[in-house]
Amino acid sequence: MAKTLFDKIWDAHAVTEVTDGPTQLYIDRQFAHEVTSPQAFNGIRERGLGVMRPSKTTATPDHNIPTWNQNQPISDPISKFQVETLTKNCEEFGITLYGLGNKKNGIVHVVGPENGYTLPGMTIVCGDSHTSTHGAFGTIAFGIGTSEVEMVLASQCILQPRPKTMLINIDGELGDAVASKDVILYIISQLSTGGGTGHFVEFAGSAITSLSMEARMTLCNMSIEMGARGGLIAPDQTTFDYIEGREFAPKGEDWDKALAYWDTLKTDEDAEFDKVFNFDAADIEPMITYGTNPGMGVGITGSIPSLSDIDEAGQATFKKSMDYMGFQPGDQMVGKKIDFVFVGSCTNGRIEDLRTFCSFIKGKKKAEHVTAWIVPGSRQVEKQAREEGLIEILTEAGFVMRQPGCSACLAMNDDKIPAGKYSVSTSNRNFEGRQGPGARTLLASVLTAGAAAITGEVTDPRTMMESAEPALV
Amino acid sequence: MAIEKFSTVTSTCIPLPIENVDTDQIIPARFLKATTKEGFGDNLFRDWRYDEQDQPKSNFVLNDPTYSGQILVGGKNFGSGSSREHAAWAIAGYGIRVVVSSFFADIFKGNSLNNGVLPVQVSEEFLAKIFKAIEADPKTTITVDLPEQSITLDTTEDSEKFEINGYKKNCMLNGYDDIDYLLSNKDKIEEWEKTSFY
């Protein structure tokens, strides 16, 4: 029977099927961080169990660490204890840890791919919903709860109901300054924040295959924001070129074997999906969100819907959202004054994001009233940015690069947007309070964030570009 | 680690007729610094429940003495966003045993089941009926019967069936968790590993 790529990987990892229940799925790689793992380690300890396959879990603190003065002890004692608990747990159970200050430390979904841990055909989990990022390599990667982290530590397996499959096909060429971030914000705006629930998505089509790996990661990263269990893209030469030579990638004879296997990782021609959506790349313009979930987005030249555009059942929620954001239904987005810009996160904190941002702001000056936090996704990204001279470009334009971490994406550390302030953010969620209590988040691409940082208001990046060229990411 | 057994719950309800209630609202990130599962109930819906001076907001349902109970009724797409199981711990910690909605986010649903909190998915129509009944009489009780997989508005006897897979139902009824099951298959896991590419 013809199979989708998702079915092939899922079936290959099914240890057994529970009668009238979920699949027992083998997990090839687990990533762990300080926030969602301590209770799982406590659990196996209380049960008197060990970690079944310690070499298949890799840990790095990222959510709850400062992005300034990382060489000094963490000042918040509760955060410090949480980070130290991860260190202790990894030592006790023999798990590789890239701790604070380690040259491989960084956001878990940046660290995995850049070190060659993430490989096509794998099943990957982490106690973080943006684990879907790794789907860019043709993996089944999804976020899990802490009870499930405990399951994987104890048995290298997880019990999961089999999701349905969805194909999202995007053909055509992306327009000027349209990034994969805009593509995914567009898809979510069309399908809604729950439109993918219960499904695992495969992204395909010429607009997808032409994307770089970094751009594919941005796309798959936010598949959870449409409620999908995860999103994946069939591996191709772009994938193989990215992986080759990375530290934990297969080498020599193993590389050849891996390539032969990876070549089989594609959806069969006549395979059927439970749902199919087709989009035209030409319909997508730079996007920005105006509300309090990632589905509340419009093209940057567009306006917020008016109340009559919203179905009656959703009107109360829509009004609540507008009150929170301080916007009126029908408002134009361009020209809205902003206070903060955040470039970073597992969505847009990779080297290509920083390159794109720097090539855009080079020779320009940050608006004086804007506070900008530029946060690399990992120590390696930070190092590369330094080596490529990006720091100088940032400094000249009035920006400062901070140290790696999840930072203002979820504001667990001190990187909080003050109440009532507007933040154009390259992160993934614009929920109430996500970037700090009362903070108002407008999600956008790196280029749109760059444009806002320079003008101090929501700005169409296309109006500021010297040469019309597609965005890198 | 056994979870609390679940059979039948009859209770008044806490209505939260808002759509897309995400896990950042259920428990904001700054409260995720604990290394145990206890105490999250105190910060359930923290920023909807308390103002910047940590004073209760009188217009939020958890601060309204009219409403209480073990059943939380939410708008559609309940539990979207972050995978934080702390959201389920906060709900369980507050004393809620059932969350009713017309649609749940996947990860939240799994996390709830793993903590003895039953997510009950009903039709849009039935959800509207529940909200209306609670609005008309806050003392309205609902009975959630897991063995029968039914949810009933006790005053009118309006009832609907809900779905749960047989395995999870059995776990909830008996207080089993998944690790016991997984480890009982250790030989199968090791057998599988022999065929693994990685």
pLDDT 10s digits, A78-132: 999 999 999 999 999 999 999 999 999 999 999 999 999 999 999 999 999 999 9
Task: Kindly tell me if the per-residue pLDDT of A472 is higher than 70.
Answer: no
| B22 near A CB under 8 A | yes
B165·A85 Cβ contact <8 A? no
A36 chain-B contacts, CB cut-off 8 A: 32, 83-85
The b/e string for B51-81 (b: 16+ C-beta within 10 A; e otherwise) is eeeeeeeeeebbeeeebebbbbbbbbbbbbb
Per-residue pLDDT at A270: 96
Mean pLDDT, rounded, for B12-35: 97
- Residue B1 above 60 pLDDT? no
Query: CA–CA separation, A286 vs A449, rounded Å?
Result: 11
Residue A155 has its nearest CB partner, among B83, B110, B183, at B183
CB within 8 Å of B53: residues ≥ 6 apart: none
CB contact under 8 Å between B106 and A163, yes or no, is yes
Nearest-by-CA chain B residue for A162:
B106
Q: Tell me the chain A residues in contact with residue B179 when contact means C-beta distances shorter than 8 Å.
A: 43, 47, 49, 150-151, 154-155
Q: Which residues of A touch B117 (CB under 8 A)?
A: none
Tokens encoding A240: 């193989």
User: What percentage of chain A carries pLDDT values higher than 70?
Assistant: 98
Where helices occur in A139-251 by DSSP H, the ranges are: 146-155, 180-191, 206-209, 213-221, 237-243
| R_g of chain A, CA atoms, integer Å | 21
Query: What pTM was computed for the model?
Result: 0.97
User: Of B29, B103, B182, which is closest to A154 when you measure between CB atoms?
Assistant: B182
- B145-174 b/e (C-beta count within 10 Å ≥ 16 → b): bbeeeebbbeeeeeebebebeebbbebbee
Residue B3 has pLDDT above 90, yes or no: no
B193 contacts chain A (CB < 8 A): yes
| Cβ atoms A446, A179 nearer than 8 A | yes
pLDDT tens digits for A262-289?
Answer: 999 999 999 999 999 999 999 999 999 9
Please indicate if any CB of chain A lies within 8 Å of the CB of B52: yes
pLDDT-above-90 percentage for chain B:
97
Q: Do B33 and A119 touch (CB under 8 A)?
A: no
How many Å apart are CA A425 and CA A431, to the nearest integer? 12
**Interface TM-score (ipTM) > 0.95:** yes
Residue A467 predicted with pLDDT over 80: no
Q: How far apart are the C-alpha atoms of A417 and A128, rounded to whole Å?
A: 22
Decide if pLDDT at A454 tops 90: yes
Of A127, A157, A163, the CB nearest to B189: A157
B82 contacts chain A (CB < 8 A): yes
On chain A, the residues whose CB falls within 8 A of the CB of B37 are: 39
Residue A332 makes CB contacts below 8 A (sequence gap 6+) with A302, A303
**What value does the mean pLDDT of chain A take?**
97
pLDDT tens-place string over residues A329-383? 999 999 999 999 999 999 999 999 999 999 999 999 999 999 999 999 999 999 9
List the single best residue of B165, B179, B191 to mutate versus A (max A Cβ within 10 A): B179
pLDDT of residue A20: 87
**What band does A468 get if pLDDT is binned at 50, 70 and 90?**
very low
The H or E element containing residue B150 is strand B150-153
**Is the CB of residue B83 less than 8 Å away from at least one CB of chain A?**
yes
Q: Do the chains contact at A227 and B80, CB–CB below 8 Å?
A: yes
Q: Which residues, at least 6 apart from A386, have a Cβ–Cβ distance to it below 8 Å?
A: none
Q: Nearest residue on chain B to A406, judged by CA atoms?
A: B29
pLDDT range class, residue A196, cuts 50, 70, 90: very high
In this complex, do B178 and A38 lie within 8 Å of one another by their Cβ atoms?
no
Within the 146-165 window of chain B, which residues sit less than 8 Å (CB to CB) from chain A? 165
B25 interface with A at CB cutoff 8 Å: yes
Q: How far apart are CA A111 and CA B197, in angstroms?
A: 22
Q: B17 and chain A: CB distance < 8 Å anywhere?
A: yes
For residue range B56-100, list pLDDT tens digits in order: 999 999 999 999 999 999 999 999 999 999 999 999 999 999 999
Closest chain B C-alpha to A462 CA, distance in angstroms: 31
* B82 contact residues in A (CB cutoff 8 A): 128-129, 410, 429
Nearest partner of A470 among A181, A113, A133, A138, judged by Cα: A181
Non-local CB neighbours of A309 within 8 Å, separated by 6+ positions: none
CB contact under 8 A, B32 and A314: no
Q: Best mutation site among A90, A155, A229, A440 for testing chain B: the one with the most B CBs within 10 Å? A: A155
Please compute Rg for chain B using Cα positions: 18
The whole-angstrom separation of Cα A462 and Cα A175 is 10
Q: Is A473 helix (H, G, I), strand (E, B) or coil?
A: coil
CA distances in angstroms from B176 to A50, A239, A438, B117, listed in the order given: 20, 42, 40, 13
Distance, in Å, from the CA atom of A362 to the CA atom of A140, rounded to the nearest integer, reads 38
Q: Which residues contact B98 (CB under 8 A, 6 or more apart)?
A: B9, B11, B70, B71, B72, B117, B118, B119, B120, B144
Residue A183: pLDDT band by 50, 70, 90 thresholds?
Answer: very high
CA A464 to chain B, closest CA, distance in angstroms equals: 34
Query: Which range, of A134-143, A170-179, B78-87, B173-182, averages the lowest pLDDT?
Result: B173-182
Q: Which residues in chain A have their CB less than 8 angstroms from residue B84's CB?
A: 35-36, 145
Q: How many CB pairs under 8 A join A and B?
A: 195
